[in-house]
């Protein structure tokens, strides 16, 4: 185990907190209200893109006041580095048929858009009644694929961020805020 991981996460590992927990909570509440309003009269299927979505999904579900269904899909786009490999594959498919359903994909972050572009094309071929995307974070500076985001909580600059579900090398997902790590941790 690396020395910096022995014991608790420490502020010495964090260069900058970009979005604190109360700010996330407020925007997730807004997102839940918007979904409840926009999908009223339907039972939308929320599809979480694993694994980064899980913290957002858990909080968002409890802010939605209409009936919803829940499913997950796992798509891999990144290796153990901070750069997108451009290689996208399905690791876990949906268990729900989406034909005729109102589907809302829930992402933690849209970066290059490669993951989402691929996922949307695949899901569209299954003939949902509607297909839209909601994301916690949008990093437009790195976009390679044009993606229509129906909902987004925050636009962020081109910095590698962790916390609130987002990882570096499968760590830091459990931080309750979005932050930038000290550069020496990446090497
Ligand atoms: C992250 C994130 C998105 C994707 C965004 O997932 O959750 O799915 O990368 O990047 P892109 O817009 O450049 O495609 P990752 O593959 O890191 O897996 P994780 O959710 O398990 O952390």
Q: Is residue 15 part of a domain?
A: no
Nearest atom, ligand 1, residue 49 CA: 8
Nearest atom, ligand 1, residue 142 CA: 13
- Total domains, the chain: 1
Question: Residue 183: pLDDT band by 50, 70, 90 thresholds?
Answer: confident
Catalytic residues: 111
Q: How does pLDDT run across 36-57, given as a tens digit for each residue?
A: 999 999 999 999 999 999 999 9
d(CA 129, CA 131): 7
Q: Which residue owns the Cα nearest ligand 1 atom 20?
A: 52
Q: Indicate the pairing of strand 14-19 with strand 69-78.
A: unpaired
CATH number of the domain where residue 105 is located: 3.40.50.2020
Residues with CB under 6 A from ligand 1: 49-52, 76-78, 84, 107-116, 167
Q: Indicate the pairing of strand 84-92 with strand 69-78.
A: antiparallel
Q: How does pLDDT run across 91-130, given as a tens digit for each residue?
A: 999 999 999 999 999 999 999 998 899 899 999 999 999 9
Q: Is residue 142 part of a domain?
A: yes
Where in the sequence is the domain holding 149, given as residue range(s)? 31-159
Q: Is residue 70 part of a domain?
A: yes
């Amino acid at each position: 185990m690396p020395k910096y991981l022995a014991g608790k996460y420490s502020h010495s590992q964090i260069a900058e907190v970009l979005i604190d927990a109360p700010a996330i909570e407020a925007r997730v509440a807004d997102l839940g209200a918007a979904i409840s309003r926009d999908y009223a009269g339907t039972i939308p299927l929320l599809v979480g893109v694993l694994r980064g979505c899980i913290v957002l999904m858990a909080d968002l579900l409890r802010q939605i006041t209409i009936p919803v269904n829940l499913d997950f899909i796992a798509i891999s786009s990144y290796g153990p580095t901070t750069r997108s490999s451009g290689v996208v594959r399905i690791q876990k498919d949906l268990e729900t048929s989406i034909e005729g359903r109102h589907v809302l994909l829930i992402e933690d972050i849209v970066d290059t858009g490669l993951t989402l572009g691929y996922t949307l094309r695949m899901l569209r071929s299954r003939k949902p009644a509607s297909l839209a995307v909601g994301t916690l974070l949008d990093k437009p500076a790195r976009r390679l694929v044009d993606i229509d985001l129906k909902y987004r909580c925050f636009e962020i600059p081109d910095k590698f961020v962790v916390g609130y579900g987002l990882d570096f090398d499968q760590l830091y997902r459990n931080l309750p805020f979005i932050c930038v790590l000290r550069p020496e941790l990446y090497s």
